[in-house]
Amino acid sequence: MEKILQFAYTGNTSSMAYNWIYNPEYLKRLAETKSLLFQPLDPDDYVKSEKAFLAYPHMQVGDRSAQGDILKWLVDALRENPNLSAKDYQDLVFDHVKPGGDYVGYVESYGRALVFNKIAKLHKVDVTPLPMDDDQMIGFAPYVAVKALNLPGERAFELAQAFTDKDVFKAYYQLFDALLEALNSHSMHDAIQAVIDAGTPADERFKKALVEPTDTFISSTVNTACHIDDAVPLVFHILYHTDSFEAALAMNAWIGGASADRGTLIGALYHTVGQLPENAPKI
């Protein structure tokens, strides 16, 4: 099952040069001149696109996003200790991202909240802890890690609670399980159709993901940011409207926004039926 990690890491790193550019028109025009996959960073793209946040100004081809690195840390820790707790997971991330830690990169909101809470507690500062109620895609890292290491499925949400209290993650894990099961006997296109037709999930955005043109879908139905209730329907839209892992990554890149972390999920869901792009860096 560790093939899932190769695909997830490949998906994550594939669009890092354009991660958090929120101008799909700009990226689509750029994609007509060259592949957007596994490209070196050109900071001018963030200036020219006008709607962007350059979070990784020192990225090199093959680098992962913060969430991609956290997935790697979590997998390595679970290899050493399959009984790792949510608190252990918090401590693991804190040790990397704290002031003086070895992580060099952008620290997302859940990471900043973690650092604030840990340091406040360490120094006995009387403040109300920041809530761990994240609704971004970091909650999918435990799902991928648990799948990769063949751990019991319930471990995914146990670990996810290091950063979130939202039960909706469990529903999304079940959705991913249903899709992976359907892929045993269906193409990606038909597997998604079967899962959505079965009413899993009931969210109307998933039905629209299959029928709306991409420009309409990302302008009217979902946005391209990090929140899971937008990101997961968008991932399903991309998977449904492409015919290979590489094509899905290419579409994901020009759609833009939180493309690196969507790429992790695209890779995880494609790992049983996909082929790695020829120019993918060795992970």
Q: What is the CATH number of the domain that holds 13?
A: 1.10.4080.10
- For 169, list phi and psi in degrees, rounded to 5: -60, -35
Pairwise CA distance, residues 205 & 11, whole Å: 23
What is the pTM (predicted TM-score) of this model? 0.96
pLDDT along the chain (283 residues), means of 10: 92 98 98 98 98 97 98 98 98 97 96 98 96 97 98 98 96 96 96 90 89 97 96 98 98 98 98 94 84
Instruction: Establish if 219 belongs to a structural domain.
Output: yes
| 58 located within any domain | no
Three-class secondary structure assignment of the chain = CCHHHHHHHHHHHHCHHHCCECCHHHHHHHHCCCCCCCCCCCHHHHHHHCCECCCCCCCCCCCCCHHHHHHHHHHHHHHHCCCCCHHHHHHHHHHHHCCCCCCCCCCCHHHHHHHHHHHHHHCCCCCCCCCCCCCEHHHHHHHHHHHHCCCCCCHHHHHHCCCCCCCHHHHHHHHHHHHHHHCCCCCHHHHHHHHHHCCCCCCHHHHHHHHCCHHHHHHHHCCCCCEHHHHHHHHHHHHHCCCCHHHHHHHHHHHCCCHHHHHHHHHHHHCCCCCCCCCCCCC
Does residue 276 form part of some domain? no
pLDDT of residue 1: 57
**Total domain count for the chain?**
1
Domain hosting residue 145, numbered range: 3-53+63-270
Residue 163, pLDDT score: 98
- 228-240 vs 204-211: helix crossing angle, rounded to 10: 30
Asked, for residue 150, whether it belongs to a domain, the answer is: yes
From the number of C-beta atoms within 10 Å of its C-beta (0-12, 13-18, 19+), residue 228 rates as buried
Alpha-carbon span 157 to 86, nearest angstrom? 9
Alpha-carbon distance 52 to 250, whole Å? 19
pLDDT at 199: 80
Three-point CA angle 112, 149, 87, nearest 5°:
35
The pLDDT value recorded for residue 123 is 95
Q: Are 8 and 268 in contact (CB under 8 A)?
A: yes
Domain membership of residue 171 (yes or no) is yes
**In the prediction, which pLDDT does 218 show?**
97
Residue 277 lies in a domain: no
- For residue 136, being part of any structural domain is answered with yes
Q: What is the pLDDT of residue 201?
A: 73
- Residue 107 in any domain: the answer is yes
